[in-house]
Amino acid sequence: MSLAEKYPQEIQKIFAKYPPEQKRSAVMPLLHLAQREEGYVDRHAMQEIAALVDIAETEVASIVGFYTLYHDEPAGKLRFQVCTDLPCALRGAEQFLADLCAKLGIEPGGTTPDGLVTVEPVMCLAACNKAPVFQIQGPDGIEYHENMTVEKTLELVEALKKSSA
């Protein structure tokens, strides 16, 4: 089912926020809408959004590829996005990422066997002085965790497993 068929009123509300000659400005809210249920934007949704706002599909795909809040592939229910930008790397973020993934038995970008957690590196979460830092993207929004250790993060993962069971 297409986005227009699933969410006609929401799409209408999104477009109402922008002048008709600037409908391309609705790309990001439409991507958010498309990603809401499955946690990623598939190619069909990108094509539909491109058609709705009269831009090329490659432009929509480039937005998905640029922003860490949009995804073009399925992943775990929760995405742990660890900042590995240079300032965070200087505070041990790369080692934190490697150690966390090793403890979870996955590679960076991988998903735990239970499908709950995907751990991936990202650039700049604007908390360089509090690294290692990561954000968790999930169905309930985004949570930030600063000054983390692998041990505290594993405790958090266990707590999230219990609460999602």
Average pLDDT, integer, range 59-82: 93
**DSSP calls for 10-33:** HHHHHHHTS-GGGGGGGHHHHHHH
pLDDT in tens, 112-153: 999 999 999 999 999 999 999 999 998 778 999 999 999 999
Q: Please state which of the ranges 7-11, 44-48, 65-69, 104-108 shows the lowest mean pLDDT.
A: 65-69
pLDDT computed for residue 143 by the predictor = 94
pLDDT in tens, 12-24: 999 999 999 999 9
Angle at 107 between CA 105 and CA 110, to 5 degrees: 95
Assess whether pLDDT exceeds 80 at residue 109. Answer: yes
Note whether 119 and 159 are within 8 A (CB).
Answer: no
Smallest Cα–Cα separation from 34: which of 66, 59, 7?
Answer: 7
List the domains of the chain with CATH numbers.
Answer: 3-66 (1.10.10.1590), 78-164 (3.40.30.10)
